[in-house]
């Protein structure tokens, strides 16, 4: 049982309209947003932040942003967000070989060195204590400009919020997210856990 139950999608009309963004991203409105609308100012601010963070402003592709979200969520252990991120990566054009081998991004040939630097950034920035230092900075600047690094950290930070929200809330996971989690992450032990 979640800590707080999600409200009906039509509870707040403005949230409902803004949340149509997730129909493209995930194919459904996430229960996390439906729970946030207990305080509509939070749900609306979150959706607008999500849209801003996930907008494409440079070479950080939509698929890479979702893989960054997956690495960040995997680092913190949020099963809900892991499944959502891998589902969104699939829907936004991540290569099948990358989806099938996301756990091995550091060594698998489907990932470029630029992608590895971005995903390693997600890993060290999501750890507690934070491990961003000179080594990752040097690697990032080999492949990415400052605006792109800001975009990446926007994704990592957005999912830091979501990881805390969904793990603390015990948000019930949607069928579509379960399907993607089992397909791409199940072979490595992914389960719904508290999000069942």
**What domains are there in the chain, each with its CATH number?**
58-189 (1.20.1290.10)
How do residues 18-44 score in pLDDT, each as one tens digit? 999 999 899 999 999 999 999 999 999
- Residue 88: its pLDDT value, please? 97
Q: What is the pLDDT of residues 108-130, one digit of tens each?
A: 999 999 999 999 999 999 999 99
Select from 158, 62, 114 the least CA-distant residue to 166: 158
Structure tokens at 86: 């891998």
Residue count of the chain, please give it.
196
Tokens of 37: 């609308």
SS3 per-residue string spanning 110-147: CCCHHHHHHHHHHHHHHCCCCCCCHHHHHHHHHHCCHH
What is the mean pLDDT of the segment spanning 164-173?
98
pTM equals 0.96
Q: What is the mean pLDDT of the chain?
A: 96
Residue 131 predicted with pLDDT over 90: yes
Q: Are 177 and 33 in contact (CB under 8 A)?
A: no
Cis bond before residue 129 (omega within 30° of 0): yes
What digits encode the pLDDT tens for the residues 42-55?
A: 999 999 999 999 99
At 164 the three-state DSSP class reads helix
- CA-closest candidate to residue 172, choices 66, 74, 33: 33
| Alpha carbon distances (Å) from 7 to 11, 15, 51 | 6, 11, 21
The pLDDT value recorded for residue 1 is: 85
Quick one: pLDDT band at residue 59, thresholds 50, 70, 90? very high
Q: In the numeric block, which tokens belong to residue 101?
A: 């081998």
């Amino acid at each position: 049982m979640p800590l707080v139950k999600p409200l009906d999608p039509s509870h707040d009309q403005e949230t409902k309209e803004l949340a149509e963004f997730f129909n493209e991203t995930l194919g459904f409105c996430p229960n996390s947003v439906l729970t946030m609308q207990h305080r509509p100012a939070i749900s609306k601010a979150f959706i607008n932040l999500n849209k801003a963070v996930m907008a494409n402003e440079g070479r950080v592709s939509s698929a890479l942003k979702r893989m960054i979200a997956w690495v960040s969520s995997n680092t913190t252990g949020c099963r809900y967000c892991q499944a959502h991120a891998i589902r969104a990566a699939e829907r936004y054009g991540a290569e099948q070989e990358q989806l099938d081998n996301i756990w091995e991004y550091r060594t698998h040939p489907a990932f470029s060195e630029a992608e590895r630097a971005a995903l390693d950034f997600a890993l060290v920035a999501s750890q507690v204590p934070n491990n961003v230092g000179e080594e990752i900075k040097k690697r990032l600047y080999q492949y990415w400009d400052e605006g792109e690094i800001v975009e990446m950290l926007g994704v990592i930070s957005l999912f830091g919020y979501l990881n805390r929200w969904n793990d603390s809330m015990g948000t019930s996971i949607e069928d579509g997210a379960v399907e993607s989690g089992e397909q791409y992450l199940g072979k490595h032990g992914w389960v719904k856990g508290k999000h069942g």
